[in-house]
Amino acid sequence: MRKPVLFALILTLPAFMQVSRAQNQDSVILRKMYTEALMNPVAYKNLDYLCTKIGGRICGTAKAEEAVQYIKKVMEGMKLDTVFLQPVMVKHWERGTIETATVFSEKKGSVELHVCALGTSIGTGDAGIKAKVVEVHNFDELKAIGRSGIEGKIVFFNRAADDSRISPFEAYGRSVDQRTQGAMQAARLGALAVIVRSAAPVHNNFPHTGVLHYADSVKAIPAMAVGTNDADLLSAWLKDDPSLKLSMKMNCINLPEVQSSNVIGEIRGSEHPEEIIVFGGHLDSWDIGQGAHDDGAGVVQGIDILRIYQALGMKPKHTLRAVAFMDEEIAQRGADAYAEAAKKKSEKHIGAIEADRGAAVPQGFSVDASDSSIEKIKSWKPLFKPYNLWFFEKGGSGADIHALKKQGTPLIGLVTDPQRYFDFHHCANDTYDLVNPRELELGAAAMAGLVYLIDTYGL
C-alpha cells in the first residue's frame, strides 16, 4: 500500500514545488512593492499639492480644471506610454459666498447655526427666507403632517444616523435620503426650504455637504445642511418654542454645463496591450474641505501603482491604466463617459479597482464579480497576510467603476478602516494634514499588489 502513495507523491511533487516557487516569487514582489511605496512618498507629495495648492474642486469649477491640468502634468512627468484627457460634460454649481442660518425665538433669543449649502441647491435670493420650522424624521412623518402643516414653512429633517451600527457606512446609508430627497419631498407639500441634519454618524458642528436631487416636476427649493450638534440644539429649542423662526440665506447658483475631463495615464501591456486593468479614484471633491480623503487619496494612489511598476522596472503583461475620474460627487458623468468610451472602442477590462473610502489603514478588498473571480481573489489572501489585509469579501466596489459592470468587468473596491471616515466626509475637516502618509502609501501598495496578481494570473 505504501508504494502507490510514494509514486503519487513523486508525481505531484514537481507541480507542488512550482506552485510554492510562484507563491514565493509573488510574496517577494509584493514586499518590494510595499517597500517602494513606503520609502518614496511621491503619492503623499502629489496629494499635498492637490489639496493645499489647489484645494476643494467641485466639477465644473476653475479649481477642478486646475486639478485636471495638475494631474495631467504629473502623469506626463512620469513618461508613461500614454497620457490623455477624456472629455466629460459636467454640471456647474458654485457655492457662492453667503450661507447663514439664524434661529429667532421670542422665548429663547437668537442663535446662529453651523450650516452649508447642499450641492446643487438653488440660492434663497437676496432677501433670504424666514419662516416657522417643522421638524420631521422621515418622509412618512412629512406626508402625515401634510400640506396644511408644511406649506410656507421650512422643513427640518432631523433623523440621526444610527450610532449602534458597526459600519458607519451603514449608518450613513440609512440617513442620507434626507439630504438627497428631502428638498423634493418637502417642496411637493409647499415647503419654502429645507434644513437637513448632516448625514454622518458624528457629534460635532461640521456641516456635511453632498448632492441633492430635484425633480423636474417639482419646484426647486433651497436646501442646507446643519452640524449634528446644532441639529440637536434646534430640535431642543423647537420643543420649548414651536413658533420660533429660522432665517436662512445662501447665494449658491447653478450655471450652464461645461466641459471637463477624466485624466488617464497608461503603461502599455507587453503581452496583451488590448486588455486593461484600470484603477484610481475621483478628482473632483466638495469645496468646504480640500478633498484629501475624498478622494484626492484615491487619485494619487492610482498614479502611484504606475510609479511603483516603473521604479521596480516591472513590465506588466496587460495595459495598466490609472484614471482620475471627474464628477463622482454630483452626477458620475466621468464614470459614464469612461464606460461609454470603453464600449465604443471595444476595450476589454480584465479588472477595475477603485479607492474611494478614505486613506485610512487598508483592510482588504470588496469584490463585485463572478463567484470564480471572488474565489481567485480570496486565494491570494495569504500573500497579503504580512500587510494585515484580512477583508476579502463579495461586496460593492465604487461609483466611478460601477458603470463597467454591464461590460462584465470584475469590480473591486479598496476597503480601509471606516470608523473615522465620516469625521472627514464632505466637510471642512477633509484636509491634507489629516491624511497619514503611511496609511496612504499602504493603500497604494495593497492595490499595486492586487494589480500585479491580476496581471499575472487573471481573474
Binding site for Zn ion (CB under 5 A): 294-295, 356
Residue with smaller CB distance to Zn ion, 427 or 454: 427
- How many angstroms separate the first and last alpha carbons of the chain? 40
Q: Return the number of the residue (117 or 330) whose C-beta is nearest Zn ion.
A: 330
Q: Taking the complex as a whole, how short is the minimal distance between the CB of residue 329 and Zn ion, in angstroms?
A: 7
In the complex, minimum distance from the CB of residue 90 to Zn ion, in angstroms, rounded to a whole number: 15
The CA distance from 214 to 91, in Å, is 14
DSSP codes, 242-290: TT-EEEEEE--EEEEEEEEEEEEEEE--SSEEEEEEEEEEE----SSS-
CA distances from 77 to 50, 71, 73, 224 (A): 16, 10, 6, 41
Whichever of 287 and 356 has its CB closer to Zn ion, that residue is: 356
Minimum gap (Å) between residue 401 Cβ and Zn ion = 12
- Give the alpha-carbon dihedral of 358, 363, 364, 368, to 10 degrees: -60
Which residue, 295 or 304, has its beta carbon nearer to Zn ion? 295
Shortest Å, Cβ 418 to Zn ion:
13
Least Cβ distance, residue 234 to Zn ion (angstroms): 28
Cell 447642499 locates to 118
- H/E element, 62: helix 62-77
| Cα dist from 297 to 142, 301, 444, 458, whole Å | 39, 6, 9, 26
- Between residues 99 and 356, which has the closer beta carbon with respect to Zn ion? 356
Say if residue 295 is preceded by a cis peptide, omega within 30 of 0.
yes
CB of 398 to Zn ion, least distance (A): 8
Give min distance, CB of 328 to Zn ion, in A: 5
**C-beta closer to Zn ion: residue 349 or 425:** 425
Alpha helices in 122-208 (DSSP H): 139-150, 168-173, 177-188
| Cα–Cα distance, 62 to 417 (Å, whole number) | 33
Strand partners, 154: 133, 193
Q: Among residues 287 and 295, whose Cβ is nearest to Zn ion? A: 295
Instruction: Work out how close the CB of 416 gets to Zn ion at its nearest, in angstroms, rounded to a whole number.
Output: 12
Task: Measure the CA–CA gap between 260 and 264, rounded to whole angstroms.
Answer: 13
Closer residue to Zn ion in complex, CB, 428/453? 428
Determine the Cα–Cα distance for residues 36 and 144; give it in Å rounded to an integer: 60
- Given CA atoms 168, 171, 177, 179 in this order, what sign does their dihedral have? negative
The least distance separating Zn ion from the CB of residue 206, rounded to whole angstroms, comes to 17
Query: Given phi > 0 = left and psi -120 to 50 = alpha, else beta, which region is 387?
Result: alpha
At 231, give phi and psi (nearest 5°).
-65, -40
Identity of the residue, 356 or 441, whose beta carbon is nearer to Zn ion in the bound complex: 356
